[in-house]
Structure 1
Amino acid sequence: MTTLRQQVNALFDHDLPSNLGGRLISGFVGLLIIVNVFSVVLESVESLRVKHFETFWWIEQVSTAVFAIEYLLRVWSAPDRVSGRFRAPLAGRLRYASRPFALVDLIAILPAILGMLGADDLRVLRLLRLLRMLKLTRHSTAFTMVWDVFREEAQSIGAVLFILVITLIMSGSIMYMLEGDAQPEVFSSIPAAIWWALVTLTTVGYGDMVPVTVWGKLFGGLVAIVGVCTLALFSGLLTVSFMDQLRMRREQYRSLLRTGMASGQMHQRDAQAMEKLGTNLGVPRRDAEAMVDQALAGGPCPHCGQAMPHDAQTAK
């Protein structure tokens, strides 16, 4: 017999099979976040804030109450997570509370806490309320893939950023030496010249700092070319890694699909569950459906061309 805490955990633990209650809660919280964000944006318009003050106030109170209850329930049920990483009653809950997603949940209710403590800077409170959008990342497969990309390529990304920082400092220092005498008020220091280097390397080009000497213009053109190459290198690295993540997830899904077909029989509900699993793994829904259909028909995989198990019978 499951305890109340285990039942609550089943609503929030993404490592467990999804259930109707968990999907309803996720959908309601997601909708509430969207409503809250629009409320914060519209509330910044003075005429709307005065006219619909009571509506905005109720949206904030309801949102804070829901987010607070969700956060407390997640922390309370943490020891029952199927991963087993938070088993200890106190230490496990503290460990869970220090995780990134739990901190995002805490940020969602932080504006109300600061308001009760007397904080009156509306701009800061409004910004913190907008950070509630980060709660949507918990339910986003795309964000999970992007996070995996950054985690897997952390060393390579760090190397690119290190090169970028070195280039910024060197470019700013050289431009200060070339343009400092000609434009002492514009290129007044190396930090000021580094701002020019940052704008140039990122190909933004505000135009607030422009070299006027011949050597300054030549060097500025070189820095702009280096910036284009650096951004191309960085974007290429992320693109390749993202495609590798998608390929690995497809391979993982294909392996799970073969395992599921090994029993020799797959019910229609099992096929639907496998399609949903593919979506959760980041496989496009169309591809997941095609792979399941091909597996049931015994045809080749639409991506790798290898034969799928064909000795299974589908029970309608």
Structure 2
Amino acid sequence: MKRRIFDIIQIGQKGDFASRAFDLGIVIVILVNIATMILQTFDELANYQNVFVVVETVTIVLFIAEYILRLWTAEYLYPTSHRAKAVLRFMISFDGIIELFTILPFFFMSGFVAFRLLRVVRIFHLFRINSYTDSFHVIKSVLYEKRNQLVSSIFIIVVLMFASSLFMYSAEHSAQPQAFKNAFSGLWWSMSTLLTVGYGDIYPITAIGRIMAIFIAFLGVGVVAIPTGIISAGFVEQYRKEQDSTNNDLQRIHTIIIDIDSQWLGHTVAEIEQQYPVNILLRQKGKYAIKADSNDVVSLEDVLTVYQYEEPHIQKKSQS
């Protein structure tokens, strides 16, 4: 039963109705919870606050139940770890943290401002909707594979932001001490300039400041494009890997008809697989195709479905 519960609460396969229904139910609960949080901010709906509280409480209870089930079945998610370590690994994983942030804000809806701000964190459990799709896993794999390049590009952006902020503070502080009263003011300007946001609330007025701003603005256009290019290249590489994998599998599957000249005629499946770099998957005689057994003897006019590890030198009548 525990194993079955684990299978149900994981991402469902197409043939598993219970698991797919659970996924759909969780998505609906997430959307209802987010919609309730948004509707609670409308003054026009103040008369329905009690209804919103009830709906929110029900959805949170469902989230808590799911979180407990995931902790209970964590040993199946991490089979190489003992139970306590598996539970801890899930709690500090991305999905575990998101689920915890889904629950915690409900218990801190009043009190200090920092606690009330936790309610906004609940929006992050929308990521869990994406976790039920293959596209989200592709994004995660691309970001993970390109993590070193992304960190390097972000480091370059941060260094340029600090350098340009200090330059601009030095050039503009004397002319407009209220706008550039410290290095942080320069950092705010450099962030909005390098990231091409351009709020316009702080801007240089001196000649040297404007000259530097021109170079920094041009530099920002190129710098911001670096992580974008890295991620785009990662998606292209991932797409090519998937295509190559699919094409290679299709190219390695052969249908071979055994004739009188075949080198395989009269040999068993086991002997052929030992001598040639192939794996015989199916053996068809007439209308019927069966799984190839290692003791089967290949006879005349047999039709074999073969997985080829590399290009072997085989004599065959036809191939598709």
Q: What TM-score do you get using the length of structure 1 for normalisation?
A: 0.74
Query: What's the offset of the Cα at 1:239?
Result: 0.6
Query: What's the offset of the Cα at 1:197?
Result: 0.7
Residue aligned with 2:180, SS = coil
Residue aligned with 2:131, SS = helix
Query: What's the offset of the Cα at 1:228?
Result: 0.3
Residues 53-83 of structure 1, C-alpha deviation per residue, up to 9 Å, x if partnerless?
Answer: 23211211111111111111111112223x6
Match of 1:110 in 2: 104
The 8 Å contact of residues 179 and 212 in structure 1, kept in 2 or not, is answered as: yes
- Residues 1:71 and 2:67 aligned together: yes
Q: What TM-score do you get using the length of structure 2 for normalisation?
A: 0.73
Residue aligned with 1:90, SS = helix
> In the alignment, residue 79 of structure 2 is paired with which amino acid?
G
Match of 2:23 in 1: 26
Among 49, 56, 59, the alignment partner of 2:55 is: 59
Structure 2: runs of 5+ lacking an equivalent: 255-279, 284-317
What is the root-mean-square deviation in Å for CA atoms of aligned residues?
Answer: 2.7
Query: What's the offset of the Cα at 1:224?
Result: 0.5
The CA distance in 2 between the partners of 1:47 and 1:120, in whole Å, is: 26
Correspondence list, 1:37-186, <5 A: 37-48=34-45, 50-81=46-77, 84-86=79-81, 88-114=82-108, 119=111, 121=113, 123-186=116-179
Larger radius of gyration: 2
Match of 2:257 in 1: none
> In the alignment, residue 74 of structure 1 is paired with which amino acid?
R
- From the two aligned structures, give the one with the greater strand fraction: 2
The CA distance in 2 between the partners of 1:136 and 1:260, in whole Å, is: 37
The 8 Å contact of residues 40 and 130 in structure 1, kept in 2 or not, is answered as: no
Structure 1: runs of 5+ lacking an equivalent: 266-309
Residue aligned with 1:139, SS = coil
Going from structure 1 to structure 2, the CA distance change for 1:165 and 1:51 (only over 3 Å counts) comes to same
- Residues 1:195 and 2:188 aligned together: yes
The 8 Å contact of residues 173 and 180 in structure 2, kept in 1 or not, is answered as: yes
The 8 Å contact of residues 13 and 20 in structure 2, kept in 1 or not, is answered as: no
- From the two aligned structures, give the one with the greater helix fraction: 1
The 8 Å contact of residues 211 and 217 in structure 1, kept in 2 or not, is answered as: yes
Residue aligned with 1:166, SS = helix
Query: What's the offset of the Cα at 1:125?
Result: 4.4
